[in-house]
Amino acid sequence: MNDLTEYVTLISSDDFSYVVLRSTACISPIIRRMLDPSNGFMEASTNTVHFDNINGIVLEKVCEYFYYNEKNKDAKDVADPDFPTELCLELLMAADYLDV
């Protein structure tokens, strides 16, 4: 069993890949479970997650959110990040899927 890497790769449906810190990506229970070696998924061994239902633009925003969340864990009175209007609904669905 290989060690847990510091970074993991998230790949969108249109083959954009994003390399993010494992700790930030694991705020999503879905990704956490996929990357958990004890569950024995292929994602865990390759440290790469493919999303067939999330496209590159949306996944970029999701990754931005991962870091926003990491940064503002204990902060107060943080302004909400701006999302492009046209992406909001897709983001909403992606967030529902990822449970973040």
Residues in contact with other proteins by the rule CB under 8 A? 26-27, 29, 32, 62, 65, 68-69, 72-76, 78, 80-83, 85, 88-89, 91-96, 98-100
- Beta-carbon contacts of residue 54 (< 8 Å; ≥ 6 apart): 12, 13, 62, 94, 97
Q: What single-letter amino acid sits at 22?
A: R
Collapsed DSSP state (helix, strand, coil) of residue 26: coil
Q: What single-letter amino acid sits at 16?
A: F
Structure tokens at 11: 């790949």
Count Cβ atoms below 10 Å from residue 1 Cβ, excluding itself.
8
Residue closer to other proteins (CB basis): 52 or 82? 82
Residue closer to other proteins (CB basis): 26 or 49? 26
Residue closer to other proteins (CB basis): 17 or 53? 53
